[in-house]
Amino acid sequence: MSITLLSSPLQGFTDFRFRNAFNHYFGGIDTFYAPYIRFNNKLVIKNSYQRDLKLEHNTELEVIPQIMTNSADEFLFVVDYIQELGYKELNWNLGCPYPMVTKRGMGSGLICEPEKINHILNRVHKETDILVSMKMRMGYENPEEILDVFPILDTYPLKNIAIHALIGKQLYKGGVNLEAFQKCIESTKHKLYYNGDITSVAKLKEMQTRFPSIDHFMIGRGLIADPFLPSMIKNNTTTYPENRWEIFREFHDTIYHQYDEALSGPTPIKMKMQGFWEYFSQSFSNPQKTFKKIKKANNPRAYQQAVAEILKNG
Ligand SMILES: Cc1cc2nc3c(=O)[nH]c(=O)nc-3n(C[C@H](O)[C@H](O)[C@H](O)COP(=O)(O)O)c2cc1C
């Protein structure tokens, strides 16, 4: 069965610079989700979100914008904004687990409020012709919460529901709950995408075997940790290209230069690249030692030296 791979958004990581460089050097991803747009009281779309969604920054790829909100007005505002840019679909984030978000009834904190979800979807479908897709966890407190939402979701022509098979209060701990995901498959008419802990070709195969009806898989952290993973899944191989580290180096240098240009001063670029290396380091034989080397590099020259040393040893 042919499968579709989607890049699951990571705020602070998978912006247009990352997406374009990723696509150029590694490929394997069919569609990229942009990290969520979120408002801070005012109905103004932050410059960083605007830059991220600009069409000229996304010419090579299929990108789907995302919103995180519990307000129909905010949703409608973003629909207008992205439709003007030419986008046809908006993804709704009901997955974010962080208390700052969930305590305000957003992200996975909204899953336990089916009526509110209904109200928003009702207005969006009455007042616009945008295609809506969802990205959800299975609940905040327990994985049954989503089962009360499906009857409402089933009344709307959603494109799909991507499910990160965890609950909000787990944050990122404890691993995915595959029995609960199976229950989701049996409880909605919508097309489901699987998301959660795909970190290797073997893991993807395990999920395919376990859920034969699923043919769309979203990869988040695993794609940053090992950017070759999507193309290896697509090519059904566990063998890396011979020039693996050369390709990685070129990719690294591309994003480094772009972020260095966009951010001002040595500290922001250090923090940005350090964030990436928390994931990249997992591809190296000693992740902790690798990450430590990056953390210790206190100026751009030391950083470049650390990267060269890490890549020499592979
Ligand atoms: C730092 C970070 C930022 C994230 N930002 C977003 C986001 O903007 N939108 C979203 O839907 N999910 C976001 N997620 C969740 C991921 O997209 C993904 O659903 C989750 O990590 C599970 O997939 P994985 O196990 O393949 O990483 C974020 C996760 C992390 C760790």
Question: DSSP secondary structure string, 178-197?
Answer: HHHHHHHHHH-SS-EEEES-
The reported pLDDT for the residue numbered 138 is: 98
Same domain for 10 and 95, yes or no, is yes
The token pair that represents 2 in the structure block: 């042919």
CA dihedral of residues 83, 48, 258, 30 (deg, nearest 10): -40
Residue 228, domain extent: 4-234
The reported pLDDT for the residue numbered 123 is: 98
**Number of domains the chain is built from:** 2
ipTM over 0.95: yes
One digit per residue, the tens of pLDDT, for the chain of length 314 reads 799 999 999 999 999 999 999 999 999 999 999 999 999 989 999 999 999 999 999 999 999 999 999 999 999 999 999 999 999 999 999 999 999 999 999 999 999 999 999 999 999 999 999 999 999 999 999 999 999 999 999 999 999 999 999 999 999 999 999 999 999 999 999 999 999 999 999 999 999 999 999 999 999 999 999 999 999 999 999 999 999 999 999 999 999 999 999 998 889 999 999 999 999 999 999 999 999 999 999 999 999 999 999 999 77
Question: Number of C-alpha atoms within 13 angstroms, CB side, residue 270?
Answer: 15
Same domain for 104 and 226, yes or no, is yes
The reported pLDDT for the residue numbered 215 is: 98
- Consult the annotation and say whether 191 binds a ligand: no
Same domain for 50 and 126, yes or no, is yes
Single out the residue in 205, 234, 263 at which a domain terminates. 234
Please report whether residue 261 resides in a domain: yes
Please report whether residue 62 resides in a domain: yes
Beta bridge partners of 129: none
d(CA 32, CA 218): 9
- SS3 of 45, please? coil
Nearest ligand 1 atom to alpha carbon 8: 17
The reported pLDDT for the residue numbered 306 is: 97
Same domain for 249 and 230, yes or no, is no
Please report whether residue 306 resides in a domain: yes
Please report whether residue 239 resides in a domain: no
Count other Cβ atoms within 10 Å, centred on residue 85.
12
- Consult the annotation and say whether 164 binds a ligand: yes
Same domain for 32 and 167, yes or no, is yes
Same domain for 53 and 164, yes or no, is yes
Same domain for 249 and 229, yes or no, is no
- Consult the annotation and say whether 135 binds a ligand: yes
Same domain for 306 and 222, yes or no, is no
Task: Look at ligand 1, atom 29, and give the residue with the nearest C-alpha.
Answer: 10
Nearest ligand 1 atom to alpha carbon 176: 25
Q: How far is the CA of 9 from the centre of ligand 1 (A)?
A: 5
Q: How far is the CA of 13 from the centre of ligand 1 (A)?
A: 10
Residues designated as active site? 96
Q: What does the DSSP 8-state code read for residue 42?
A: B
The reported pLDDT for the residue numbered 41 is: 87
